[in-house]
């Protein structure tokens, strides 16, 4: 577990991530992280869950329509 400090940033509050937390999340300044609800609390992740769902759907379509996509790529 890594403790995060809540700081005031103008009229907002901000979490300060330690170097250790940044390394574990594999993020750096300017990257976006996502706070999602999890059983018993919350989870901070470096990926967008909705993007993952969309990519899963895209992979299914690409698998089913492989031949059509191959023909389109030839043009």
pLDDT score at 48: 72
pLDDT score at 40: 92
| Residue 64 exposed, middle or buried by CB count within 10 Å (0-12, 13-18, 19+) | exposed
Tens digit of each residue's pLDDT, the chain (75 residues)? 888 889 999 999 999 899 998 998 889 888 888 888 889 998 888 877 777 788 888 888 888 998 998 888 987
Cα–Cα distance for residue pair 68/63, rounded to 1 Å: 10
Cα–Cα distance for residue pair 65/48, rounded to 1 Å: 26
């Amino acid at each position: 577990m890594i403790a995060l400090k809540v700081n005031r940033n103008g009229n907002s509050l901000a979490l300060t991530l330690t170097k250790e937390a940044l390394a574990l999340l594999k993020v750096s300044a300017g990257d976006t992280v996502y706070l999602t609800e999890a059983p018993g609390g919350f989870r901070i992740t470096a990926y967008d869950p909705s993007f993952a769902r969309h990519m899963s759907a895209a992979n299914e379509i690409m698998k089913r329509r492989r031949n059509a996509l191959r023909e389109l790529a030839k043009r």
